[in-house]
Amino acid sequence: MTRRTPFLAANWKLHLGPAESARLASDIRVRTADLRDVTIAIFPTALSITAVVDALRGSSIGVGPQEIEAAPIGAWTGANSATLCRAAGCEFALVGHSERRQHYGETSQRCNQRLFAAFAAGLVPIYCVGETLGERRAGRVEQVVGDQLSAGLDRLESDQIASLTLAYEPVWAIGTGETATPEQAQQVHAFIRSWLAARIGPTLAGQVRIQYGGSVKPSNAAEILSQPDVDGALVGGASLDAANFAAIAMQAISP
């Protein structure tokens, strides 16, 4: 089995101003300083990006925006540019988070444009996919996730797909306290990897990191992260506490 470096991402959503973000980032930096063979990235509010970049300067922890516009510059009031985020010191970018899809009408087709923008700017994107509770109950998980992959990854080169990260986040488990069972998470992650294998071949598919996102916390992280196709986590609420986030990161690298 391909050895993939675990990837832990902290999505702070609409929390914390620049000073608070810098303090939390510094605390996470200290608590994870001795961890090896793990990738860590923080996604603060847009207003706090530069403060977090400064707090993490010289560390191995990356920073990224929670959303990006497809256009590099222009008349896009309120948007984040991948190009400008890169200039601010970002290395990653979230694309297609379920809350963006739900509250802002984000579509997989528009996400596709944002993925191209991320690559053009030199950012590594995390592309998020996942089903609602109604879609799961209707037995449409693979259809929904497959459609999101098909539209979102359309026209990307195979090496681009191999270099990005995917995040499976069941919408019904985000911010609800509900979590997919380890078996449910593995089942969808395995489907995603099989979809990738059909698209770019098994060797490249084996390189793609697939995170799980959905109420991950220290008490459930170990079981989820031990699944063979789960390569890390996109952590929401638990990442607002440095000790909790560090504990999850430690579990990601435990044998």
Residues with catalytic roles: 97, 169
Q: For residue 2, what pLDDT is reported?
A: 58
Q: For residue 214, what pLDDT is reported?
A: 86
| pLDDT beyond 70 at 254 | no
Q: Which domains does the chain have, with CATH numbers?
A: 7-253 (3.20.20.70)
Q: For residue 215, what pLDDT is reported?
A: 85
Mean of pLDDT over the chain: 94
- Residues 64-111 have pLDDT tens digits of 999 999 999 999 999 999 999 999 999 999 999 999 999 999 999 999
Share of the chain above pLDDT 90, in %: 89
Nearest to 45 by CA among 76, 3, 90: 90
Q: For residue 124, what pLDDT is reported?
A: 98
| pLDDT beyond 70 at 255 | no
- Residues 112-131 have pLDDT tens digits of 999 999 999 999 999 999 99
- Residues 159-200 have pLDDT tens digits of 999 999 999 999 887 766 677 889 999 999 999 999 999 999
Contact (CB, 8 A) for 44 and 89: no
State the average pLDDT over residues 205-234. 94
